[in-house]
Amino acid sequence: MPERLKPELRRKITEHIRLGHGRNWIARDLGVSADVVSKIARENYLGFSNVRTVKATHAQQIDKWAARVKKSEAIWN
């Protein structure tokens, strides 16, 4: 049976998640598996957000929108 995590370690993991650190980084830093970090996040109704991915996705959406506008302008002019 796996060893239970100490409350102090659980608190540190939760704190790192709230600070916005990534799951894999937290796991490496604290010496636990990424699955453990995910489980603790779920238990505390927390999630992970990768700001770089969100920004890149938004930029890509804007680029595609601009390309559609340019194409429609070429058709109508």
The pLDDT value recorded for residue 20 is 86
Radius of gyration, alpha carbons of the chain: 20
Give the 3-state secondary structure of residue 3: coil
The pLDDT value recorded for residue 63 is 95
Q: How confident is the model at residue 3 (pLDDT cuts 50, 70, 90)?
A: confident
The pLDDT value recorded for residue 51 is 67
Rounded Cα–Cα distance for residues 3 and 59 (Å): 44
**CATH ID of 1-46, from 1.10.3470, 1.10.150, 1.10.10, 3.40.109:** 1.10.10
Q: Token pair for residue 46?
A: 């927390």
Helix axes 23-30, 7-18, angle to 10 degrees: 150
Rounded Cα–Cα distance for residues 27 and 35 (Å): 9
How confident is the model over 20-77, as pLDDT tens digits?
A: 888 999 999 999 999 999 999 999 999 887 667 778 889 999 999 999 999 999 888 7
